Amino acid sequence: MERRIGLWMYQNGGGEQIQEQLVSKLNERDISVVTNLDLGNAVAHDGSIFCNDQDMGSLDLFFSYNAGQQTPYQTYLYQTLSTIIPTINNYEAFELTEDKFKTAQLLKRHGINTPDYVVCNKKNIDNLKKHFHFWQGQAICKPINGWGGNGIIKLESERDLDLIYPYIVNQASPQLYLERIIENDFTDYRVDIVDDQFIACYGRKAAEGSWKTNVTSGGNVIQREAPPEVIELALKAARITGLEIAGVDIIYDIEHQKYVVLEVNGIPAFATPEQEKMGINFNAKKVQCIVDLIDRKTRKQSHRSNIVSTNSNVPTDTVFTDFA
């Protein structure tokens, strides 16, 4: 029986070409691909989810890879779909890493170096000020979700906290998340992981006068080799979060002389055509590893479907015991 998967891939920045490569290599393995399945356009009824007239539950797997166009509705149906068929990334890990606090909390509990942080009710400013004093009056205020450096504010005194507090109180989120500022050289490592394999590393450097390394915030992509310690740290972080595909952001803490995981991203971008011209050439390896991952997962799913189909002819009062 032919395997068939659904795909929602970003189209800008070389995404269309990446999609073509994925589809071609999957087809070589007798896996057909239904593209452009944006769950934001999907409708659910009578126990099924339909997107562009495609019954999503009939697919062997759904691969969603479009951070820039995510919506709450799309994510809502993604969660539901993950209870019906396998998804990449799996929804549990995806949801976890969309939340900076929950990710940092989990990594800390597993002994991974992350920035010191505090999260509390946004109305409890006294608790925040206690940590502020402990951190010498400097911190980064972040939304617990989001990407690209959006909504991040650097606080350099208690007065800064007082100034932004009215803005914070009016936000929808009930909590406030602060991180201790880490002394660093305004560069980071972005380590790409697929299926517990190191794919590549590149760096990002903040623009002159800025402290944000995110490209969307003005940072520049640079070639950068990752030392073994950074690669191992990224692999551990990806394993702990459960992401099959991860982009782990790491910086070097100059004061404490150690590498620190800043974030774990569930939809790390491929290299753009411009970045490939710079010599950042990892797309082919990443595509191949994703194809291998999909191949393995859909074989398991197809095997389960065949067992269900075979057992459908067995009398309903027959009891099966799974010894796996």
User: Tell me, what's the pLDDT at 25?
Assistant: 98
pLDDT number for residue 283: 97
* pLDDT at residue number 321: 35
124 with 174, same domain: the answer is yes
| Close Cβ partners of 277 (under 8 Å, ≥ 6 residues apart) | none
Flag whether 308 is in a domain: no
| Same domain, yes or no: 10 and 71 | yes
Query: Are 166 and 213 in a shared domain?
Result: no
| In a domain? residue 315 | no
Q: In this structure, what CATH number is given to the domain that contains residue 43?
A: 3.40.50.20
Structure tokens that stand for 129 in this block: 């000020």
pLDDT at 97: 95
For residue 24, the enclosing domain spans: 3-93+282-291
pLDDT tens, residue order, the chain (324 aa): 589 999 999 988 899 999 999 999 999 999 999 999 999 999 999 999 999 999 999 999 999 999 878 899 999 999 999 999 999 999 999 999 999 999 999 999 999 999 999 888 877 777 777 777 788 878 888 777 765 556 678 888 878 878 877 877 777 777 888 899 999 999 999 999 999 999 999 999 998 888 888 877 778 899 999 999 999 999 999 999 999 999 999 999 999 999 999 999 999 999 999 999 999 999 999 999 999 999 999 997 665 555 444 454 544 444 433 333
Q: What is the pLDDT of residue 124?
A: 78
User: Looking at 151, 180, 209, which one is the last position of a domain?
Assistant: 180
In a domain, 151, yes or no: yes
Number of domains in the chain: 3
Residue 150's CATH number:
3.30.1490.20
With tokens 């201790």, the residue in question is 180
Domain check: are 191 and 252 in the same one?
Answer: yes
CA distance 167 to 34: 44
Q: Does any domain span residue 274?
A: no
Supply the CATH number for residue 225's domain. Answer: 3.30.470.20
**CB neighbour burial string for 225-244, b if at least 16 within 10 angstroms, e if fewer:** ebeeebbebbbbbbebbbbb
The pLDDT value given to residue 324 = 34
Instruction: Compute the distance between CA of residue 214 and CA of residue 217 in angstroms, rounded to an integer.
Output: 5
The reported pLDDT for the residue numbered 317 is 45
Question: Is-contact 87 266, C-beta < 8 A?
Answer: no
124-158: b (≥16 Cβ within 10 Å) or e: ebeebeeebeebebebbbbbbeebebeebbebeee
Task: Note the pTM of the prediction, 2 decimals.
Answer: 0.88
**Residue 310: inside a domain, yes or no?**
no
At residue 316, the pLDDT reads: 43
On whether residue 155 sits in a domain, the answer given is yes
Please check whether residue 107 is in contact with residue 261, taking contact to mean a CB–CB distance below 8 angstroms. yes
pLDDT in tens, 129-163: 777 778 887 888 877 776 555 667 888 887 887 88
Residues 6+ apart with CB under 8 A from 284: 21
Which whole-number Å values give the CA distances from 64 to 32, 79, 129, in the listed order? 16, 12, 40
Residue 275 in domain: no
Residue type, 31: I
Domain-located, residue 27:
yes
Tens of pLDDT, residue by residue over 236-268, are 999 999 999 999 999 999 999 999 999 999 999
**Dist CA 230 CA 106 (whole Å):** 19
Tell me the sheet residues that pair with 142. Answer: 177
Contacts of 61 (CB under 8 A, 6+ apart): 5, 6, 85, 86, 87, 88, 294, 297, 298, 301
